[in-house]
Structure 1
Amino acid sequence: MKYSKATDYALHTMLFLTAATPNQPIGVQKLAERLGVSATYLSKILTKLVKAGMIESASGARGGYRLKRNWENISFLDIIHTIEGKASLFDCSLDHGSECAIQQVVLLAEEKMEDHLRNQTLAELAKKVEVDV
């Protein structure tokens, strides 16, 4: 299974915001430079995170993006679902309904993976990493 680059950038951005300065806005240009991506591309990802209520944008000379309240509870799964959606990774192509034994195995594996990602918060991980602002 593979997540998109957008998920990679979203997770890294959220970790950076969490570890660096959760209450201080950081400009999109600075975030983009840190990730080595264009500000335009990163802005599209940030817009999804804003719509999901994880971050907020602050305008003005000291503007940028910062975490919203309750950021301590944001899990890896929250971010992944925001970028990738909630669809299953496997879709049985045969027409035998929900009785597909293969689909049941894959769904069980996805549930276990999602449980793990749901229990891993960025706040916990941020305690383990050092970030230069």
Structure 2
Amino acid sequence: MKYSKATNYALHTMLFLVAATPNKPVTVVELAEKQKVSPTYLSKILTKLVKAGMIESASGAKGGYRLKRNWENISFLDIIHAIEGPTSMFDCSLDHGPECPIQKVVLSAEEKMEQHLRDQTMFELVQRTKVNLW
């Protein structure tokens, strides 16, 4: 199982935003520098997080991105779905429908993994992290 680099950057971006003061906007340049990625590329990821309702952009001289909705409850799965979508990682190549025994095993494993990711919030991770993220 492998998620895209965009998901990696989205998870780290949300970690940095949760670790920062929730109402203080952080610029795309600051977030990009922390992750050693292009601000243009990161902007595309931030747009997906905005569309998912997790963050908002603040314009102006002191603008940037900040957390939006119940940020304490944003889970790893919320972020992953915002970037990857809610699709399965496995798609049976044989045409024998939903009764594929392999598909059933893989979907069961994915459901368990998704539950684990749903149970883990960025806020809890920041609370446990002793490292200064800024």
The TM-score range, normalised by the shorter chain, is over 0.9
Q: Specify the code of the residue in structure 2 equivalent to 1:88.
A: S
C-alpha distance in structure 2 between counterparts of 1:10 and 1:104, whole Å:
29
Match of 2:79 in 1: 79
The answer (yes or no) to whether the contact 2:56–2:66 under 8 Å persists in 1 is yes
Normalising to structure 2: TM-score of the pair? Answer: 0.96
Equivalence map 1:117-128=2 (5 Å): 117-128=117-128
- Aligned sequence identity (%): 76
Following TM superposition, where does structure 1 have runs of at least 4 consecutive aligned residues deviating by more than 4 angstroms? none
Distance across 2 between alignment mates of 1:29 and 1:94? 46
Give the Cα separation in 2 of the matches to 1:108 and 1:78: 19
1:58 paired residue number = 58
Give the secondary-structure state (helix, strand or coil) at the position aligned to 1:92.
coil
Question: C-alpha deviations, 1:19-70, integer Å up to 9, x for none?
Answer: 1221100000010000000000000000000000000000011100000131
CA drift of 1:132 comes to: 4.3
Q: How many residues align?
A: 133
Query: In structure 2, do the counterparts of structure 1 residues 68 and 100 end up closer, same or farther at CA, with 3 Å as the change threshold?
Result: same
Q: What are the ranges of 5 or more consecutive residues in structure 1 without an aligned counterpart?
A: none
Q: Does the residue aligned with 1:65 lie in a helix, a strand or coil?
A: strand
Residue 3 of structure 1 is matched in structure 2 by 3
Gaps of 5+ in 2: none
Q: TM-score scaled to structure 1, two decimals?
A: 0.97
| SS in structure 1 at match of 2:110 | helix
In structure 2, what is the Cα distance between the partners aligned to 1:128 and 1:64?
26
Residues 53, 69 of structure 2: 8 Å contact kept: no
Paired AA for residue 63 in structure 1: G
CA distance in structure 2 between the partners assigned to 1:132 and 1:19 by the alignment:
7
Task: Tell me which residue corresponds to 1:12.
Answer: 12
Shift of residue 95, structure 1, vs aligned partner: 1.1
Distance in 1, Cα, partners of 2:69 & 2:46? 16
Q: Superposition RMSD on alpha carbons, in Å?
A: 0.9
Q: Output the amino acid matched with 1:69.
A: R
- The answer to whether 1:108 aligns with 2:108 is yes
1:45 touches 1:83 (CA, 8 Å); kept in 2? yes
User: SS at 1:62's partner residue?
Assistant: coil
